[in-house]
């Protein structure tokens, strides 16, 4: 866990080395800081998993919960909504107008935040699409705002659930052991061990060093990567078996505090390059809205 001061410092350091991300960083850093602050106020009861169910999950290598079971602190999420709309209005020109639309619609009760939050948790694409049409806002922007508000609750809930995992053997799977979602990035720790980060609950878990994290393929003819000499801390792994890619941050190459979401949004050029080459990332969900 890094402090808010360290997060700000990491953001400033990245800004210096990659000026083209200045405006993206100005916005997202404030969003992340607001989320961290909100996290301190979150009060939710822990999700309880009965011992029998836990055994079944462990035996069948199933995630602890379904994402619909995460518990949201509605009050904290609603407060954050107003904060993030204001940040978007002030710092994200491309989101500015729709941020206003959403904030007004919420104040006039034209749309219900709780419905938005639970539609995201339950992955109700149809309901989200209808809501977005009604508000005349693109689906992905509505989801961005909604998810940004509930992310601190989801992360808190995931942290509480980690206690169940400590008693289990590491499964080293390509999906999140907490909620079953896909990873949106990987990193090598100071010992060179590979970890993945969940795109939904931000849980980090250990996996094997080699092979595709999505399909487990380990054939060297199918596993490739690219990187640039100017950014030695990043690598993008490509799999020709399942055509997924994943960005990898080598923590041995960075001298700033590691805040995964920050690295995620300041490497969008790598996502673009991987997509140009015809690869997709099953875990890229929410953090790549243009600002």
Residues in contact with Zn ion by CB under 5 A are 176, 178-179, 181, 198, 200-201, 203, 212, 214-215, 217, 239, 241-242
Specify the residue, 100 or 180, whose C-beta has the smaller distance to Zn ion: 180
Specify the residue, 203 or 235, whose C-beta has the smaller distance to Zn ion: 203
The DSSP code sequence of the chain is ---HHHHHHHHHHHHHH-GGGHHHHHHHHHHHHHHHHHHTT---PPPP--HHHHHHHHHTT--SS-GGG----HHHHHHHHHHHHHHHHHH-HHHHHHHHHHHHHHHTTSS-HHHHHHHHHTT-HHHHHHHHHHHT--HHHHHHHHHHHHHHHHHHHHHHHHHHHHTSPP---SS-TTT-PPEEEEEE-TTS-EEEEETTT--EEEE-SSS-TTT----TTTEEEEEETTEEEEEEEEETTT-BEEEEEEGGG--S---HHHHHHTTHHHHHHHHHTT-B-TT--SS----
Q: How far is the CB of 147 from Zn ion (least distance, A)?
A: 13
Q: How far is the CB of 72 from Zn ion (least distance, A)?
A: 15
Specify the residue, 186 or 239, whose C-beta has the smaller distance to Zn ion: 239
Specify the residue, 4 or 57, whose C-beta has the smaller distance to Zn ion: 57
Q: How far is the CB of 197 from Zn ion (least distance, A)?
A: 9
Q: How far is the CB of 188 from Zn ion (least distance, A)?
A: 19
Specify the residue, 198 or 274, whose C-beta has the smaller distance to Zn ion: 198
Specify the residue, 24 or 148, whose C-beta has the smaller distance to Zn ion: 148
Q: How far is the CB of 114 from Zn ion (least distance, A)?
A: 22
In angstroms, the CA 81 to CA 183 distance is 25
Q: How far is the CB of 186 from Zn ion (least distance, A)?
A: 13
């Amino acid at each position: 866990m890094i402090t808010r001061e360290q997060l700000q410092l990491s953001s400033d350091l990245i800004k210096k080395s990659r000026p083209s991300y200045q405006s993206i960083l100005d916005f997202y850093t404030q969003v992340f800081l607001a989320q961290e602050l909100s996290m301190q106020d979150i009060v939710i009861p822990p999700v309880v998993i009965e011992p029998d169910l836990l055994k079944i999950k462990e035996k069948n290598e199933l995630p602890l919960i379904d994402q619909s079971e995460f518990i949201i602190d509605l009050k904290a999420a609603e407060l954050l909504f107003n904060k993030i709309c204001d940040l978007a209005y002030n710092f994200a020109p491309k989101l500015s107008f729709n941020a206003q639309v959403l904030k007004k619609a919420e104040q006039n009760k034209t749309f219900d935040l709780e419905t938005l939050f639970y539609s995201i948790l339950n992955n109700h694409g149809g309901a989200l699409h209808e809501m977005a049409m009604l508000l005349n806002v693109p689906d992905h922007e509505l989801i961005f705002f909604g998810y940004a508000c509930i992310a601190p609750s989801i992360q808190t809930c995931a942290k509480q659930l980690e206690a169940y995992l400590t008693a289990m053997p590491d499964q080293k799977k390509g999906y999140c052991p907490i909620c079953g979602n896909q990873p949106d990035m990987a990193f090598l720790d100071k010992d060179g061990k590979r970890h993945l980060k969940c795109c939904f609950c931000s849980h980090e878990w250990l996996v094997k060093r080699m092979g595709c994290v999505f399909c487990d393929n380990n054939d060297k003819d199918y596993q490739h990567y690219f990187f640039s000499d100017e950014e030695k801390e990043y690598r993008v792994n490509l799999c020709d078996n399942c055509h997924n890619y994943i960005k990898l941050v080598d923590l041995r190459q960075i001298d700033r505090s590691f805040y995964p979401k920050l690295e995620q949004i300041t490497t969008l050029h790598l996502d673009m390059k991987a997509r140009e080459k015809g690869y997709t990332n099953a875990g890229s969900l929410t953090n790549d809205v243009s600002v």
